[in-house]
């Protein structure tokens, strides 16, 4: 169990808190490019700050405080343009860098505008998402992770804003054995209660789990019944990219689950998927679809017959901020303990003025950061492809599900 003091340090994300200072050293995805094509302004709450994201022109974005520095009108209703965002109340114009460029009601000779600045943060576009950095200058490089940047792939992103602290979904990622129970035994129980056939996924007992730190975070490994340490699930494993990304995938399907702290009690969760089935032609993709993944049905009940729904149930029922002073951790929880220790050590680095793990100042020479990922995990061949995709995270709600299924069925036919 944790002390109340340490639980608070790990869960509070506001400016000036140890965890808030650590998380501000990283880029966070706050919206999809497609969302800013539909509406040119979007409210963003990130790390406890209320902001407005806006599109000034094609591939030109800004992120500034929501309240105008004049009289506090919401800039969500502002007018975006090539020079910045103009307040709808009195026309004050703010640049993406936070400078006040115009105050139409003031004298042309007044320099009052030079004394006005609004909080502003850099925005970068990558893989169809928009990333924000709220930390001190100079901003580090936005890491070009493979899932965001590989050529010849189809991508999509689902999202949910969940009323839980960000640490609950992240600690879930350091807990391999929950897969066996939550998504195996419990998942089949849910299907049975709904009158549906059980998943054809074989539920196999975990025989060994392991965790190793590497340059981007922690590698998670496992051996389950019917496998050995020679199999990819142990030999390669898959990573938790510090501080808030889980990388998952198999057989040409790769994904990130990104847990973006909105504030102490809410988290923006992304299920970002990249599909690269082998042996088939991948059609060009003009834009990355963005869609919402609900956690409740039309009756307000939790959705439990999807992988992500089962995860969200576990996180939600711990409370908005889990009370870790009453927990009882066992040997199978050593990944959770390792992750908490890493958070504490990286907070200490930031307090000393150092860059934490995974912060880079120069782009990689290849232009892509390749991450380790086992491909064979629980692969069952062509007979399970449609079920895997439809029951996988967010796929039920995917706007391009039929296209994805078709690509994988063509891959299976090519390899038959």
Render pLDDT for 222-241 as a digit per residue (tens, 0 to 9).
999 999 999 999 999 999 99
Work out the angle between the directed axes of helices 307-316 and 186-193 (0-180°, nearest 10).
Answer: 110
**Helices and strands, counts by H and E, the chain:** 12, 19
The per-residue pLDDT for 249 is: 85
40-133: CATH topology: Rieske Iron-sulfur Protein (2.102.10)
Q: Are strands 290-292 and 154-162 parallel, antiparallel or unpaired?
A: parallel
Q: Are 253 and 275 in contact (CB under 8 A)?
A: yes
Task: Give the mean pLDDT of 192-221.
Answer: 88
Render pLDDT for 111-147 as a digit per residue (tens, 0 to 9).
999 999 999 999 999 999 999 999 999 999 999 999 9
The per-residue pLDDT for 379 is: 44
Q: Are 267 and 164 in contact (CB under 8 A)?
A: yes
- Give the pTM: 0.95
The per-residue pLDDT for 231 is: 93
Task: Give the mean pLDDT of 254-267.
Answer: 97
Phi, psi values for residue 74, rounded to 5°: -70, 125
Q: Please choose, from the candidates 373, 337, 343, 338, the residue with its C-alpha nearest in 3D space to the C-alpha of residue 358.
A: 343
Render pLDDT for 32-51 as a digit per residue (tens, 0 to 9).
999 999 899 999 999 999 99
Render pLDDT for 14-34 as a digit per residue (tens, 0 to 9).
999 999 999 999 999 999 999
* Strand, helix or coil for residue 234: helix
Does the structure show a pLDDT above 60 at 329? yes
Task: Give the mean pLDDT of 372-395.
Answer: 62
Location of each CATH 2.102.10.10 domain in the chain? 40-133
Who contacts 159 (Cβ-Cβ below 8 Å, separation ≥6)?
32, 268, 269, 270, 271, 290, 291, 292, 293
Task: Round to whole Å and give the CA distance between 4 and 403.
Answer: 49
Q: Binning pLDDT at 50, 70 and 90, where does residue 416 land?
A: low
Does the structure show a pLDDT above 60 at 382? no
Render pLDDT for 61-89 as a digit per residue (tens, 0 to 9).
999 999 999 999 999 999 999 999 999 99
Q: Binning pLDDT at 50, 70 and 90, where does residue 381 land?
A: very low
Location of each CATH 3.90.380 domain in the chain? 146-415
Task: Give the mean pLDDT of 374-378.
Answer: 68
The per-residue pLDDT for 408 is: 84
Who contacts 416 (Cβ-Cβ below 8 Å, separation ≥6)?
382
Joined together, the tokens standing for residue 373 give 């990922």
Between 67-81, 103-117, 193-207, 396-410, the lowest mean confidence (pLDDT) is in: 193-207
Who contacts 219 (Cβ-Cβ below 8 Å, separation ≥6)?
211, 212, 213, 237, 238, 239, 240, 372
Architecture of domain 146-415: Alpha-Beta Complex (3.90)
Q: What share of the chain is helix, strand, coil (3-state, %, to 5)?
A: 30, 30, 45
The per-residue pLDDT for 384 is: 57
Q: Which residue in the block uniquely carries the two structure tokens 């889990």?
A: 322
Burial 194-233 (b: 16+ CB within 10 A, else e): eeeeebebebbebeebebeeeebbbbbbbbbeebeeebbb
Task: Round to whole Å and give the CA distance between 80 and 61.
Answer: 10
Of 317 and 383, which is predicted with more confidence? Answer: 317
Q: Are 53 and 123 in contact (CB under 8 A)?
A: yes
Task: Round to whole Å and give the CA distance between 86 and 101.
Answer: 9
Measuring CA to CA, how many Å separate 59 from each of 46, 96, 129, 130? 21, 13, 11, 10
């Amino acid at each position: 169990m944790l002390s109340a003091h340490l639980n608070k340090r790990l869960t509070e994300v506001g400016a000036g808190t140890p965890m808030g200072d650590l998380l501000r050293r990283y880029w966070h995805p706050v919206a999809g490019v497609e969302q800013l094509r539909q509406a040119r302004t979007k409210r963003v709450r990130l790390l406890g700050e209320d902001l407005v994201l806006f599109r000034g022109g094609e591939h030109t974005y800004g992120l500034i405080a929501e309240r105008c520095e004049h009289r506090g009108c919401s800039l969500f209703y502002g007018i975006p343009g090539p020079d910045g965002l103009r307040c709808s109340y009195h026309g004050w114009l703010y640049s993406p860098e936070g400078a006040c460029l115009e105050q139409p009601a003031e004298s042309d000779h007044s320099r009052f505008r030079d004394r006005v600045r609004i909080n502003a943060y850099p925005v970068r576009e990558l893989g169809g998402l928009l990333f924000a950095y709220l930390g001190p200058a100079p901003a580090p490089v936005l890491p070009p992770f493979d899932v965001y940047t590989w050529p010849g792939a189809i991508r999509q992103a689902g999202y949910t804003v969940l009323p839980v602290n960000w640490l609950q979904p992240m600690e879930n990622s350091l807990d391999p054995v929950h897969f066996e129970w939550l998504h195996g035994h419990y998942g089949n129980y849910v299907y049975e209660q709904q009158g549906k056939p059980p998943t054809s996924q074989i539920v196999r007992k975990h025989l060994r789990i392991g965790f190793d730190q590497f340059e981007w975070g922690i590698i998670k490994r496992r051996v389950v019944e019917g496998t050995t340490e020679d199999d990819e699930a142990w030999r390669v494993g898959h990573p938790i990219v510090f501080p808030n990304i889980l990388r998952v995938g198999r057989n040409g399907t790769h994904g990130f689950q990104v847990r973006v702290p909105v504030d102490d009690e809410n988290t923006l969760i992304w299920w970002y998927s990249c599909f690269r089935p082998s042996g088939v032609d991948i059609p060009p993709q003009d834009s990355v679809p963005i869609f919402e993944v609900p956690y409740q049905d039309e009756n307000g009940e939790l959705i439990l017959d999807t992988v992500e729904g089962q995860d969200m149930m576990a996180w939600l029922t711990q409370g908005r901020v889990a009370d870790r002073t009453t927990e009882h951790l066992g040997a199978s929880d050593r990944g959770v303990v390792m992750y908490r220790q890493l958070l504490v050590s990286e907070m200490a680095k930031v307090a000393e003025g150092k860059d934490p793990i995974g912060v880079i100042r120069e782009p990689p020479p290849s232009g892509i950061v390749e991450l380790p990922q086992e491909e064979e995990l629980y692969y069952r061949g062509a007979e399970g492809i449609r079920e895997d995709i439809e029951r996988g995270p967010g796929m039920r709600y995917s706007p391009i599900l039929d296209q994805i299924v078709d690509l994988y069925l063509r891959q299976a036919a090519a390899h038959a």
